[in-house]
Amino acid sequence: MGEYRTAFERSITDPTAFWKEAAEEILWRRRPSQILDDANPPFYRWFPDGELNTCENALDRHVDEGRADQPALIYDSPVTGTQRTYTYRALRDEVARFAGALRGLGVAKGDRVVIYMPMVPEGVVAMLACARLGAVHSVVFGGFAPRELAIRIDDAQPKVVVSASCGIEPTRVVAYKPMLDEALELSRHAPERCVILERPEAGADLRPGRDLSWAEAMEGAEPAECVPVLATDPLYVLYTSGTTGRPKGVVRDNGGHAVALRWSMKYVYGIDPGDVFWAASDVGWVVGHSYIVYAPLLHGCTTVLYEGKPVGTPDAGAFWRVVAEHGVRALFTAPTAIRAIKKEDPEGKHLASYDLSRFETLFLAGERLDPDTYHWAVRILDRPVIDHWWQTESGWPMAANLRGLDPMPVKAGSPTVPVPGYDLHVVDGSGGDVPRGTEGDIVVGLPLPPGNLPTVWGADERFVESYLSRYPGYYLTGDGGFIDEDGYLWVMGRTDDVINVAGHRLSTGSMEEVIAAHPAVAECAVIGVHDELKGQMPRGFVVLKAGADVDEGDLRDELLVAVREQVGAVAAMRDVAVVPALPKTRSGKILRGTMRGIAEGKDEPVPSTIEDASVLDQLRPILLGRD
């Protein structure tokens, strides 16, 4: 534990020296003379006078430093039956050209570009092209419906939107362009231009004057050079679900992000330049931003972009095939993907078909890693399986078993220890540290390390209110848990109304907004309840308006379709029940936590603040599925 302990202590007692050293790994156009600007707490800025370009660090520098012919990105798409490899040189050239195309459409430093794409290389190219110009990308996950896309377009106010004609799910082709058109009908903000990648699986109606195809945009585009930006300038905005239906635009800066991500590849993941690293996620999520795109490229690795699923494309051996075929050293995915494989191939028979000799470590994050899944993965893989904990706001791991320092014994169910830079505490309601082994709110002492969100897009006060005001001097993670006698962290789940469905972070608030908009609904609550495969699934409860004359079965179907069409298929809402009333506190707050506890079969105490305990008694059989 010595190496880890020394690094951790140093990162907390002397963060400036610690991150100054880490910043040596980055190519600066102007080296930062100041490491941390702490003059305006609770706002902190890393490397405030440094200048760099993130795309230059991810691509050009590796071309110049001898990796030009090394694969930078391997696109592996079982859903289309294609594979394509880009060397660092080829990816740099493609990105430079698309950056030129964007520049031709008027995109300049500081402008926003929304990217709504399936898992195709052009999505990555578009992200890096924005970085090259100093423009700010905002990627919206393809599984989100038009309404969610519109909300993000209105907040980010992009000059250009980059999208595709379609995404490909195992059972259907998902037409993206009509969803984009619908989103643009719904949004108040109108981007000047839309660039649409036309895929062979579906056409796209291009609106003259506004839309142009990817091919047209690229035609004759001159490669653009890297534009230096301040370390504190935004690289991207990524919207994440909060407690309300209004997502928060997590801002990522350029300098802190590059420094932290590169550091994490070596010390958290134990990966060397030249290695093949595969994050089986989606570029629409933070895991995709950080560990499909930026970190592996900043570190000179080969990254894999996989357009497929863990099962069904074509079978439960898909992940092992990709690992073997591309010589993957470390795979990062969500526990739900492993549970899906386990369900279909409980004995891991598919493994025998593949040569996994170069595969060293499986990393899991995005939701709690339940001990059953952990033990199963260790048994069939016979390699280290590493749980680690982080979130969109942090951008990189906050707790992990650090493979590049000295790895520690694993305790199944714990993501191990705080990563250097993260001064983790577990506090009670008054903000005091709780004794070891006692549950409370997990918080991080300020300043947050580089790479973490410096603010919420266009809303400094929302940043303070959502994350910093509950416990002054600390950042509120939104997770509850405890630290045990050995200093291991145990994350028990969210303390707010955020839920996690198959590794997708969703807001119950946005589902409630959709349900509440139905004319027959007086009020409603959505809670996330435990699910064997997906971790959690949303369940809705509605109270009808007095005199509402509706067939309950029809209403249920209508509400499920509405959530699917307005939030997205990923919400996977399958269950809405009509109930006589919702349990509330005397001040009118719906007791969602109590409902969730009962639905999960816990011996949930009746809160002393409840307005009418008989409401809970009536609801109990419905929550338990015994009505």
> Contact residues for ligand AMP (CB under 6 A)?
240, 285-286, 365-369, 387-389, 391-392, 415, 478-479, 491, 494, 500, 505
Residue in 528, 590, 520 with CA at minimum distance from that of residue 553: 520
Ramachandran angles phi, psi of 299, nearest 5°: -95, 0
Q: Which does 143 bind (CB under 5 to 8 A by kind): ligand COA, ligand AMP, none?
A: ligand COA
**Contact flag: residue 366 with ligand COA (CB under 6 A):** yes
Minimum Å gap between C-beta 522 and ligand COA is 28
Angle between helices 176-186 and 146-156 (to 10 degrees): 60
Residue 176, classified by CB atoms within 10 Å of its CB into exposed (0-12), middle (13-18) or buried (19+), is: buried
> Do strands 51-52 and 229-230 pair parallel, antiparallel, or not at all (unpaired)?
antiparallel
Nearer to ligand COA, 142 or 158 (CB): 142
**Contact flag: residue 169 with ligand COA (CB under 6 A):** yes
Minimum Å gap between C-beta 350 and ligand COA is 15
Nearer to ligand COA, 86 or 291 (CB): 291
Given 302, 313, 336, 466, the residue binding ligand COA (CB under 6 A)? 336
With contact defined as beta carbons under 8 Å apart, do 539 and 575 qualify? yes
Residue in 293, 278, 421 with CA at minimum distance from that of residue 356: 278
Q: Which does 363 bind (CB under 5 to 8 A by kind): ligand AMP, ligand COA, none?
A: none
Nearer to ligand COA, 153 or 365 (CB): 365
Minimum Å gap between C-beta 367 and ligand COA is 8
Given 11, 77, 241, 281, the residue binding ligand COA (CB under 6 A)? 281
Minimum Å gap between C-beta 44 and ligand COA is 27
User: What percent of the residues of the chain are helix, what percent strand, and what percent coil, each to the nearest 5?
Assistant: 35, 25, 40
Nearer to ligand COA, 119 or 212 (CB): 119
One character per residue 110-149, x = contact with ligand COA (rule: CB under 6 A): --------x-----------------------xx------
With contact defined as beta carbons under 8 Å apart, do 529 and 572 qualify? no
Identify residues 555-614 at the interface with ligand COA (CB under 6 A): 569-570, 572
Nearer to ligand COA, 254 or 401 (CB): 401
With contact defined as beta carbons under 8 Å apart, do 75 and 83 qualify? yes
Q: What is the dihedral of CA 590, 511, 281, 128, to 10 degrees?
A: -110
Nearer to ligand COA, 174 or 476 (CB): 174
**Contact flag: residue 198 with ligand COA (CB under 6 A):** no
Q: How far is CA 321 from CA 69, 87, 353, in A?
A: 24, 21, 8
* Vertex 124 angle, CA 120 and 128, to 5°: 160
Q: How far is CA 595 from CA 119, 230, 260, 402, 584, in A?
A: 37, 48, 40, 38, 10
Given 91, 105, 259, 311, the residue binding ligand COA (CB under 6 A)? 311
Instruction: Give residues in contact with ligand COA (CB under 6 A).
Output: 118, 142-143, 167, 169, 174, 281-282, 285, 287, 309-311, 334, 336-337, 340, 366, 502-504, 569-570, 572
